Amino acid sequence: MFFEICSKRQRRLSLLDRVTDDCQYLHEIILAVSVTCRKVHCEKIRQLSGYIIELTEQSKTHKNLSGRNHKLISIHGVERDLESNAKKLYQESDMKINLSGRTAFVTGGNLGLGRGMSLALAECGADVALTYYSHKQEGEETVRMIEDMGCRAYLFQLDATNSSQVDQVVGQVAEQFGGHIDILMNNAGHLIARKEIAEMSDEHWHKVMNVNVSTTFYCTRAVLPHMNTGWGRIVNMSSLAARNGGSYGQVAYSASKGAIISFTRALAKEVASKGITVNAVAPGVILETPFHETFTADDVLKTIINNTPLKRGGVPEDVAGAVIYFVSELGSFVTGEVLEINGGLYFA
């Protein structure tokens, strides 16, 4: 789109004349660069936008133009200069956030947070295998969305609390991906129900621990033999509840998510020599997910958001961005860390 806009500008007016009446055109260029360079992170977009502003200011005064390698005596010259820089920035960012050729396994990747992370991985070029326990239709929709991006996607039904089933599905995933799995996103988990400890049964306690901790253990154990290329990324799902104890009736859930943090740090030490990093994300209130739609009343959500310094709830894309950092080369020297994603509600 950026290059199409540039090619349509054939008139050769002076740079000074064009700047006085073409601010909208420069705005269009910024927007087009944002679309064209979809893999460029925000800092790169800001750099290019700043460069456009710099050229605009220089064009008004005609200062510092003579020393440039490009002759900026017409808007066509500006276009060529912008095009060169846009391509350069795109290539630089593509090297950093390019997961092309990588394979990812996302548990519970069919909807909510899992869908957001699955789509973000595919957006960066990774092929994705995702699982669902229920809501198969949403999983099929997610697969179609990934395939529309030009990546491979596979959907598997999985009860991740069943270790033998985990082993079977992971084997099938590895087979689809040519024998290796590069990225594991341990997203499967659940609150189950709010229970105070006085009324909590053994069954409830074990069910919460199984769905949050055992699933992470089973999937990690099954995937590790397939992280066999000297490069691997594991990201585990913790929670703000692990830090602050959660809210009413979350003793079991908070304890299980705290265990995820300890699991993450211990595993990071264990597998570092194999070129594998292990990190975790700890989201706070993330809207557009089944969790809060099911377990949190609207008035409670409003209170939490009002007490959040950024004055909003999160969305799945907020968590997905953190995951992409961990699994890309940007986070290659980071392991054993837990990233808080809560809008400033809690600082670790």
Whether 346 is catalytic? no
In this predicted model, what pLDDT tens digit does every residue of 115-135 receive, in sequence order? 999 999 999 999 999 999 999
Residue 247, classed as helix, strand or coil, is coil
Amino acid 48: pLDDT:
59
- For the domain spanning 103-341, the CATH number is 3.40.50.720
CA distance linking residue 138 with residue 158, whole number of Å: 14
**Residue 294 — pLDDT band, cuts 50, 70, 90?**
confident
Amino acid 304: pLDDT:
93
Look at the block and give the residue holding tokens 């066999």: 228
Residue 132, classed as helix, strand or coil, is strand
**Token output for 226:** 């397939």
Of the residues 90, 133, 253, 325, which is catalytic?
A: 253
**What Rg value do the Cα atoms of the chain yield, rounded?**
24
In this predicted model, what pLDDT tens digit does every residue of 54-63 receive, in sequence order? 665 655 555 4
> Quick one: CA torsion of 128, 133, 138, 144, rounded to 10 degrees?
30
Instruction: For residue 313, give the amino acid letter.
Output: G
Are the C-beta atoms of residues 49 and 30 closer than 8 Å to each other? yes
Provide, rounded to the nearest whole percent, the portion of the chain with pLDDT above 70.
72
Q: For 244, phi and psi rounded to 5 degrees?
A: -115, 10
